[in-house]
Amino acid sequence: MTIQNPAIAEWRMLIDGELVPSSSGAVFDNINPATDEVIGVTADGTPEDFDRAIAAARRAFDQTDWPRDHALRARCIRQLKDALVRHAEIIRPLLVAEVGTPIWLTRDTLFDVPVEKLEHYAHLAETYRFDDELEDVDFRGFVSRRRIRYEPVGVVAGIIPWNGPWGSGLGKIGPALASGSTIILKPSPDAPWMGTIVGKLIKEETDIPAGVVNIVTASDNFAGVVLTTDPRVDMIAFTGSAPNGRKVAEAASGTLKRMLLELGGKSAFIVLRSADVAEQAALAAKTICANAGQGCVARSRLLLPRESYEAGIAAAKAQMDAISVGDPQDPQNFMGPLNSRHHRARVLNYIERALADGNRLVRGGKVPESKPTGSFIEPTLFADVKPDDTIAQEEIFGPVLAVIPYDTEEEALQIANNSIYGLSAQVAAGTNEEAYEFAKKLRTGTVSINNGTWMHMDVPFGGFKQSGIGRQYGRQGFEAYLEIKVLGIPSGAESRTLKWGEIERKADTESVSA
């Protein structure tokens, strides 16, 4: 793809209110995974660039009124939202070009939904009760009023992945700004323009003060170490794989930073006997191909009752056979490529491991012969997968569905919960009540019942077990960016000095009386 509007396809970083190149002058290529073409370059930030960004964020938080000006924060968030809406049709093909996601998804969770979520955070900046009160307390004969203040956490480092950069990026910028915090956002080198485009719009079309938002791009992973270990950073908001989340947690523990970790998943799609097994199996096969399976909530394990097992596999295969794979800019194509050649190699390696484990390859499993260019892979279906096999336990992050049979619902529940992850799940049954009763027993953060959706701006999204720490989005996700301060105030008009001797004498008197 040739970039049509280089003015929007910004390559510079936003540091302390200015769009700047790397201090080294270096850039790295942004590659279209559908064509292998270089669509542009991005500034390759250095440790010095990150140091300047952290210093700017620290100064903006400590030395300006940003943390206390609620009206300014709400206005700035809405300005950013409005700018993104104005430029949406220019941004949309750039998102497709750097991520490889099909363009139809940009009108859903990959762009339009996260942009709309900014209004939710603007509303919270205006209406959240940042100053609240508790009941008065009588402590040793002295009555005090008590207040709770919810204050911004400080300087936030946001580290985001390539598979859904706009959702992850705006999902960190929004609550950080609404809370009164400042932020350094580090996009993935495999999808850097999400950050640089936002930086350009912040600079040119909003009143966000210098240093409040800093966006630094880099091709090297050193950035994560810098951000997670620097004592000037108060909080890490990370979205990525569980192995990388463990590294972030370990590095951040040295300064006991607040951490919000949204990590991986190995979600199960459980079809109970009372459901239409063929219909639900086909749905599972289709949804694993959305964004080429590159989603943390992707239902990559399909659990089918044994008596309907082969019928379900046949329906899943028929659905995958019908999936249109090709140019993600073409709205007729349901699935585009994987994000990069190196990620495709990782997915192909998992397919080889599945074959070595004796899993039955029903379809797919290779690069399409008609698409030697780009990072395409065929929708892939494996059957006869055992619950402890590699492809049933590890996050593949590709269009690979593992079908597992079960004999009883108790066994289905055990298989579904047999994972280090607990991010999401889907349950299908003949009635909503039956599916709901089963869903209550799942150890996951979100569950879709009979194709119902939980996704909206008010949802606290996150998972159990090694799928993360804390929740993103919604009121609870916003509160992750707040510190709690409790104040005790004398209830009378004038303060009173209470000497320790008075407390001791009063305590002695109460003890004798008792």
- The active-site residue, picked from 76, 98, 289, 296, is 296
Tell me which residue of 75, 24, 80, 73 sits closest to 197, measured CA to CA. Answer: 80
- Known catalytic residue at 289: no
Task: Tell me the DSSP string of 72-118.
Answer: HHHHHHHHHHHHHHHTHHHHHHHHHHHH---HHHHTTTTTHHHHHHH
Mean pLDDT of the chain, nearest integer = 94
Tell me which residue of 143, 239, 100, 210 sits closest to 489, measured CA to CA. Answer: 143
Each residue's pLDDT tens digit in the chain (514 positions)?
444 445 568 999 999 999 999 999 999 999 999 999 999 999 999 999 999 999 999 999 999 999 999 999 999 999 999 999 999 999 999 999 999 999 999 999 999 999 999 999 999 999 999 999 999 999 888 899 999 999 999 999 999 999 999 999 999 999 999 999 999 999 999 999 999 999 999 999 999 999 999 999 999 988 889 999 999 999 999 999 999 999 999 999 999 999 999 999 999 999 999 999 999 999 999 999 999 999 999 999 999 999 999 999 999 999 999 999 999 999 999 999 999 999 999 999 999 999 999 999 999 999 999 999 999 999 999 999 999 999 999 999 999 999 999 999 999 999 999 999 999 999 999 999 999 999 999 999 999 999 999 988 789 999 999 999 999 999 999 999 999 999 999 987 555 555 555 555 554 554 444 4
pLDDT for position 496: 57
In CATH terms, the fold of domain 267-457 is Aldehyde Dehydrogenase; Chain A, domain 2 (3.40.309)
Question: C-alpha angle with apex 153: 149 to 159, nearest 5 degrees?
Answer: 150
- Known catalytic residue at 262: yes
- The active-site residue, picked from 98, 262, 378, 395, is 262
The whole-model pTM stands at 0.93
pLDDT for position 6: 52
**Domain positions in the chain:** 13-263+467-483, 267-457
One fold for 13-263+467-483 and 267-457 = no
Tell me which residue of 108, 103, 78, 77 sits closest to 91, measured CA to CA. Answer: 103
Which residues, at least 6 apart from 242, have a Cβ–Cβ distance to it below 8 Å? 263, 264, 395, 420, 421, 466, 467
What tokens does 201 get? Answer: 């719009």
Contact 443, 289 (CB under 8 A): no
Return d(Cα 507, Cα 514) in angstroms, integer.
10
Q: Which is the CATH superfamily of the domain at 13-263+467-483?
A: Aldehyde Dehydrogenase; Chain A, domain 1 (3.40.605.10)
Instruction: Return the exposure string of 341-363: e unless at least 16 CB atoms fall within 10 Å of the residue's CB, then b.
Output: eebbeebbebbeebeebebeebb
What tokens does 139 get? Answer: 């402590």
For residue 308, the number of C-alpha atoms closer than 13 Å in the C-beta half-sphere is 20
